[in-house]
Structure 1
Amino acid sequence: MQRFCLALDLIDDPALIAEYEKYHEKIWPEIKASIVDAGVTDLEIYRIENRLFMILEATDAFTFAQKAAIDAAISKVQEWETLMWKYQQALPTAKPGEKWLVMDKIFDLKQQ
């Protein structure tokens, strides 16, 4: 099992943030299927102000490259990603085309 933590910002507009959260109350079935089919076993998103934090757990076989390939082949996923970009903005350190950035783990209580 693998765990990844990722970050992304939303456009700092209360109305847009509310819309974004509304979409995530019940995601499209094709989006859920693409997540599960890629080997993701659990996924949670948290928000503080306009900063998003995602916890993604996946099988050992999961890779972000494989997930991107699956997503590229599904038009409904591409439609969702385009729609979500209306609400999202890359972190200042993101390279062109990057959205969610994987965070570095810097502490683990179990290892102390």
Structure 2
Amino acid sequence: MKVKRICYACDLVDNPELIQEYKRYHSKENAWPEITESIKKAGILDMEIYILANRLFMIMEVDETFSPERKQMMDAANPKVQEWEKLMWQFQQAPPGAKDGEKWLPMEQIYKLI
């Protein structure tokens, strides 16, 4: 199985209370199991999200079945994912360069040690 790493960035509304609430939603004990399941079904083997101030950085390890387009179609057909996305929009905001409705944007790799 071939594994690929993909990285995305997103911004949060610059409000300390909202950022803390966003972190709570993403803690292991508060993660929605339906969202975790949808992530795995899309071919995402592992996912980590990091934060610096109000900037989020997501690292995904994906298998050969993953594609952003396929994940988008799966999410659109999943009512629980749509509920989650609507909820997250109160915390998230589009980063610079995003088109209307975009929030997580793929990052360009500019350096690799090995």
TM superposition score category, shorter chain reference: over 0.9
Corresponding residue for 2:49? Answer: 45
Question: Which consecutive unaligned segments of at least 5 residues does structure 1 have?
Answer: none
> Share of identical aligned residues, percent?
55
* TM-score when normalising by structure 2: 0.94
C-alpha deviation, 1:17, in angstroms: 0.2
Corresponding residue for 1:65? Answer: 69
* TM-score when normalising by structure 1: 0.96
C-alpha deviation, 1:61, in angstroms: 2.0
- Indicate the SS of the match to 2:51: strand
CA RMSD of aligned residues (A): 0.6
Choose the corresponding residue for 1:6, options 8, 14, 21: 8
Question: Following TM superposition, where does structure 1 have runs of at least 4 consecutive aligned residues deviating by more than 3 angstroms?
Answer: none
Corresponding residue for 1:84? Answer: 88
Corresponding residue for 1:101? Answer: 105
Letter in 2 for 1:13: N
C-alpha deviation, 1:2, in angstroms: 1.1
Q: Find the aligned partners of 2:58 and 2:84 in 1 and give their Cα distance.
A: 17
Q: Find the aligned partners of 1:76 and 1:99 in 2 and give their Cα distance.
A: 18
- Which string of whole-angstrom CA distances, capped at 9 and with x for unpartnered residues, describes residues 62-99 of structure 1? 10111111111110100000000000000121011111
Question: Which consecutive unaligned segments of at least 5 residues does structure 2 have?
Answer: none
Aligned pair count reads 110
More helix by share: 1
